[in-house]
Structure 1
Amino acid sequence: MNNSENNLNTLCNITATSSSANLNLSSNDEIQKAFLYWAGSGTGDFEVNLNGNVINSQRNFPLFQNGFDYFCAFADVTDLILATGNGNYTLSDFDVTPFLDATHYCSNRTNFAGWAIVIVYKNNNLPLNQLNVYDGLQGVSQTQQNLTLNLNSLNVIDNIGAKIGFVAWEGDKNLAINETLRFNGNILSNALNPSNNAFNGTNSFTGSTTLYNMDLDVYDIQNYLQIGVPTAEIKLTSGQDFVMISTVVTKLNSQLPDATIVIDNFNLGCDSRGILVDYTVYNVNSTNPLPAGTPISIYADGQLIETTETTAILPMEGSFSSSILLTIPDAIPANFTLDFVVDDSGDGTGIVTEINENNNSFSINISLLSSVEFNLLDNLISCNLGQKKGTFDFSSYEEFVKENQDHVVHFFETHSDANTNLNPILNSNNYTANSTPKEIFVRIENENCFRITSFLLETKNCPPTPFNVITANGDGLNDFLHFEGLRDIFTNFKLYIYSRWGRLVWEGNNNSKNWYGQSSKGIELNIGDVPDGTYFYILDLNDADYPTPLTGFVYLTR
């Protein structure tokens, strides 16, 4: 946005807040990434417009040098460039004039503003390349005459056609005092950039020599790279010109794998910290096979819990699927993040150089399954109906056993049926147990898990109830003395019948017939039927729960 070189101006000359440039890729060029950089004097203008679209800085790079502030901003504008394609691009609303005055940036001729878009594109007619983009903001000047930048993660397999490009700011054509750009100790130069004036306001793509206070330069470096060495050194020197580097791009002919990993499925058990995980390692966007033995590290909430590795060489576009049983440590909470990271030796470092070193992980959120909580149930007791048989109503237990009203409850006669959820009891409000004690099993389940509890059905000998009016006339109604809940329950009972004068007239037990108003004891034995009247009974139950005999009257008529 400068109209001329700073060192030729007597006054600041950055009144424009917009400028334009054309993008003209061929039809075979497919845009992969587009990075917008803008820079200037001052602490920064971090909101600009690109073709009318508001762009906010996603990363800011400040620099304080020679007592002044400078900045560079970054935004990924890939979607916008893809949507627009070739044509004119205008950056507007970029204003650094609030930072400029005659006694500061203008007085030392470091007033500048500019922008550039770095386009990464794919063309199937080109050889396979590795592109590395490094960005930030550092500079050299009369007070700091040397700057060294170290580049990492290079994969130099073939150095033929290797290039390096720079986005630099504030360089002046007419300041060429000890101004050099070195790569691995070798001074870089070309037709636009003399060896003693690398930052001179030129554009290697258009051939322009009037890109004032900004450089877009590309150099051949194939003679300065050593195959197999993953690092390189860039060194800048300047005896006077203030120069800032914000972006460095390297292009290397590259044959590299690209390991990625995906968690395909996982299975959880109720009340278990074991997880069976299915996963797949891919080598899809690659230019070389992924070697066997590539490590895989597994983390729970950032804690390393397991390691494994690939077992075979993965060709380009190949994949490897496997399963692993994990045990989650007790210190990890029930809700946690599970991370699978390929090409990770367990300490965050890998052993394989890849096309993309930032796509090796896959994360999912895990919630361990807990069985339902429930309330314990008391045993139920009912009156013995004979031979330990009883009738029970435990329908209310369906609600009582639940701690969560959304849970589902069923009753079963066996633990096996409860476990398989087969043959539930359907008449819990009127259930007959033919013998007791009998265990009833209760299955409580939610959408994921179930638990089984149980309670006992028990019977007790309830006090018998006398029906003490006898009409012994043979009509089948009330013909004998009857005690409800006596026979086959109190199997050792003794029943005695006395006349109103206290004479024993009949005696019986569980093996005897019922008393039909006949005499079996005393003076009435030979008579058979005793006369109508009131009689007295003593019922000795011979049961520890009833130590005192039951007594009462019997009214006999015929």
Structure 2
Amino acid sequence: MNTAENGLTAPCSILTSSTANLNLNSDQNIVAAYLYWAGSGTGDLTISLNDIEVTAERTFSDALDVDRVFFAAFADVTTIINELGNTNYTLSNFDLTDVISTYCPTGTNFAGWAITIIYEDLSLPLNQLNVYDGLQSVPTFLSITLDNLNVLDNENAKIGFIAWEGDSGISVNEQLTINGSVISNFPLNPANNAFNGTNSFTGATDLYNMDIDVYNIQNNINIGDTSATISLTSGQDFVMINNVITVLNSQLPDATITTEDYIVNCGDNTIELFYTVHNTNSTAILTANTPISFYYNNVLIGQSETQNDIAINDHENNSVLLTLPNDATANVSLIASVDDSGNMTGVVTETNENNNITTFEIELLIIPETTLLPTILGCNEGFETSSYNLYEALESIEYDVEDVTFFNSLEDLETNSHAILIPSDYTNTSNPETVFVRLASPPCYEVFQFNLAIENCPPHIPQGFSPNNDTKNDWFNIQGLYDIFTEHELQIYNRYGNLIYKGNNSKPWYGIINRGLNNKGKTVPVGTYYYILNLNDPNYTPFMGWVYVNY
């Protein structure tokens, strides 16, 4: 924006707009475009680019003293440049005319702008490009350390600057060094006058108070370097560095990961995940044992690693078992991160460190809450056991027999193992006993639960028996009594009302007399005998009746 180099005879005026032309090749695709503008004073932070209003996204400041302050501003204009393409770009509404008058007497009045274009050209080797910005000044000494470098190949390495307020007529001890070595580009940028109002790209020498310079630093950095130090000395000229760009030949892998498929089982929080690690858009192999980490709610839940070296533009398939916490919901979002040691940091230097992560959704097969069914009661058949038809518990639900399986434990149900083989004729093993039901309900199943319980049903008392030792009906076989009502007492009386027998759970009646003085041990004669059966069960009163004994 300056019309002449500052000095005592220079006009104290400044432009409010200027134009520059962009002319990229057709195969050079714009990746990013950054607009920088700077000048005397505290700043004009809203300007226009081809009549499109642009407001500073970041600002920087510097000062020579309390009265002479300077500003610089930054805005990402990638969208504008991509839309307009190769054309003339006019920056306007940049008005410092009311500010510079106090700066003119000391020759520090200036304004200017530049757009840094980062483009992709497939015919060029892959480069690592770093952009550093801020606003730092000299005299008399300025040192800037550039971090995050990864010098794998220093061939044709370059460094570029946007600097403000340099004067071609001032070259007092003005020297630019990289890692301690002086750099220059004679005759455009002499070793003793690096910032002299020139443009290395166009060869222009009339930028006036601004420099756009680029240098080859192939001999100033070494393979393996991770940083570089820029130093500037000046005995008189006041120079401000606004932007530094490094371009390094980059032979690196680029690890990315995609998820292909997964397997989940009903009611199980363990997932078998199938994934692919790619080494696309790379210039070197991705070595084996590159770590991979998996996260749920930002918590590490599993790790893996590549098995083999992955060639450029190749890939490797693998799978991993991941276990989610028990409180995970049905739909979960997971993160797969390659080149990740488990703390979101990597061990492999890549061409792109920002594409290692993929997010994917998984639907767990959640089992519905267990439904309780009514208890099945069975008559005690002795020692608190009974036979059951387990299908009777399912009367309240609709089902197909082939979809139903019964189990003795929930663990067996979940693993679908050790099913009850004959559900229609099942004998319990405890009282009460819980039975679990697995009902197929694709893609999963439903779970039901019911109890088997025992009740002492009324005994069946026969009307007679024949104790003749023919092994048929030889005793008073009261069914549903023995080993069920274990505390019962049986009394037998003859027709005269005399007690002739008393028995219990261990003494059934075979027609033998065990009471009285004269007939103990004798078999009763044919006839009708009166019985009293006291079950000693609070649910039943004594049973009384007649039984006929015949031989």
TM category, shorter: 0.5 to 0.7
Secondary structure at 1:83's aligned position in 2?
helix
Moved more, 410-419 or 260-269: 410-419
Contact 1:61 1:137 (C-alpha < 8 Å) held by counterparts: yes
Contact 2:20 2:88 (C-alpha < 8 Å) held by counterparts: yes
Pick aligned residue for 2:217 from 195, 208, 221: 221
Alignment partner, residue 192 of structure 2: 196
Q: Residues 108, 367 of structure 1: CA spacing in aligned structure 2 closer, same or farther, 3 A cutoff? A: farther
Pick aligned residue for 2:357 from 362, 366, 370: 362
1:276 counterpart = 2:272: yes
Alignment partner, residue 31 of structure 1: 30
Secondary structure at 2:237's aligned position in 1?
coil
Secondary structure at 1:204's aligned position in 2?
coil
1:153 counterpart = 2:152: no
Moved more, 128-137 or 144-153: 144-153
Alignment partner, residue 537 of structure 2: 544
Contact 1:56 1:75 (C-alpha < 8 Å) held by counterparts: yes
Q: Residues 208, 228 of structure 1: CA spacing in aligned structure 2 closer, same or farther, 3 A cutoff? A: same
Alignment partner, residue 140 of structure 1: 137
Contact 1:490 1:541 (C-alpha < 8 Å) held by counterparts: no
Alignment partner, residue 451 of structure 2: 456
Alignment partner, residue 179 of structure 1: 174
Contact 1:40 1:112 (C-alpha < 8 Å) held by counterparts: yes
Contact 2:339 2:345 (C-alpha < 8 Å) held by counterparts: no
List runs of 5+ in structure 2 lacking aligned partners: 417-422, 460-477, 491-526, 545-551
Contact 2:292 2:306 (C-alpha < 8 Å) held by counterparts: no
Q: CA deviation at 1:539?
A: 10
Alignment partner, residue 234 of structure 2: 238
State the identity as a percent. Answer: 37
Pick aligned residue for 1:210 from 206, 210, 213: 206
Contact 1:2 1:14 (C-alpha < 8 Å) held by counterparts: yes
1:285-310 per-residue CA deviation (whole Å, 9 max, x = no partner) reads 122333x3353152636666666543
Q: CA deviation at 1:323?
A: 2.4
Equivalent runs, 1:328-343 vs 2, <5 Å: 338-342=335-339
Aligned residues between the structures:
478
TM-score, with structure 2 as normaliser: 0.67
Q: CA deviation at 1:273?
A: 6.0
Instruction: Return the letter of the residue paired with 1:196.
Output: N
Q: CA deviation at 1:148?
A: 3.3
Instruction: Return the letter of the residue paired with 1:28.
Output: D
Contact 2:339 2:346 (C-alpha < 8 Å) held by counterparts: no
Alignment partner, residue 19 of structure 2: 20
Q: Residues 145, 390 of structure 1: CA spacing in aligned structure 2 closer, same or farther, 3 A cutoff? A: closer
Alignment partner, residue 120 of structure 2: 122
Contact 1:49 1:92 (C-alpha < 8 Å) held by counterparts: yes
Q: Distance in 2 between matches of 1:262 and 1:216?
A: 40
Instruction: Return the letter of the residue paired with 1:130.
Output: N
Q: Distance in 2 between matches of 1:2 and 1:444?
A: 85
Q: Residues 59, 370 of structure 1: CA spacing in aligned structure 2 closer, same or farther, 3 A cutoff? A: farther
Contact 1:386 1:488 (C-alpha < 8 Å) held by counterparts: no
Alignment partner, residue 523 of structure 2: none
Equivalent runs, 1:263-412 vs 2, <5 Å: 263-264=258-259, 265-268=261-264, 274-290=270-286, 292-293=287-288, 295-298=290-293, 300=295, 308-326=304-322, 338-342=335-339, 348=345, 350=347, 352-356=348-352, 358-359=353-354, 361-364=356-359, 369=364, 371-372=366-367, 374=369, 377=372, 379-381=374-376, 412=405
1:379-419 per-residue CA deviation (whole Å, 9 max, x = no partner) reads 525586999688998679779xxxxxxxxxx9654579966
Q: Residues 297, 220 of structure 1: CA spacing in aligned structure 2 closer, same or farther, 3 A cutoff? A: same
Q: CA deviation at 1:183?
A: 2.4
Secondary structure at 2:257's aligned position in 1?
strand
Q: CA deviation at 1:75?
A: 3.6
Q: Distance in 2 between matches of 1:116 and 1:452?
A: 70
1:162 counterpart = 2:157: yes
Q: CA deviation at 1:214?
A: 1.8
Instruction: Return the letter of the residue paired with 2:111.
Output: A
Q: CA deviation at 1:266?
A: 4.5
Q: CA deviation at 1:234?
A: 1.8
Q: Distance in 1 between matches of 2:220 and 2:76?
A: 31
List runs of 5+ in structure 1 lacking aligned partners: 400-409, 422-430, 465-486, 495-525, 527-537, 552-558
Q: Distance in 2 between matches of 1:375 and 1:329?
A: 20
Q: Residues 390, 229 of structure 1: CA spacing in aligned structure 2 closer, same or farther, 3 A cutoff? A: closer
Secondary structure at 1:121's aligned position in 2?
strand
Contact 2:40 2:96 (C-alpha < 8 Å) held by counterparts: yes
Secondary structure at 1:132's aligned position in 2?
strand
1:217-247 per-residue CA deviation (whole Å, 9 max, x = no partner) reads 1223334344554543321122232222222
Contact 1:59 1:73 (C-alpha < 8 Å) held by counterparts: yes
Q: CA deviation at 1:166?
A: 1.4
Instruction: Return the letter of the residue paired with 1:456.
Output: N
Alignment partner, residue 251 of structure 1: 247
Alignment partner, residue 523 of structure 1: none
Secondary structure at 1:198's aligned position in 2?
coil
Q: CA deviation at 1:442?
A: 3.9
1:475-529 per-residue CA deviation (whole Å, 9 max, x = no partner) reads xxxxxxxxxxxx98789999xxxxxxxxxxxxxxxxxxxxxxxxxxxxxxx9xxx
Secondary structure at 1:5's aligned position in 2?
coil
Contact 2:37 2:74 (C-alpha < 8 Å) held by counterparts: yes
Q: CA deviation at 1:268?
A: 4.9
Q: Distance in 2 between matches of 1:378 and 1:188?
A: 90
**What RMSD over aligned residues (CA atoms) do the two structures have, in Å?**
5.3
Q: Distance in 2 between matches of 1:210 and 1:266?
A: 64
1:348-368 per-residue CA deviation (whole Å, 9 max, x = no partner) reads 352x44333x23521436779
Q: Distance in 1 between matches of 2:311 and 2:177?
A: 38
Q: Distance in 2 between matches of 1:56 and 1:445?
A: 63
TM-score, with structure 1 as normaliser: 0.66
Q: CA deviation at 1:170?
A: 2.3
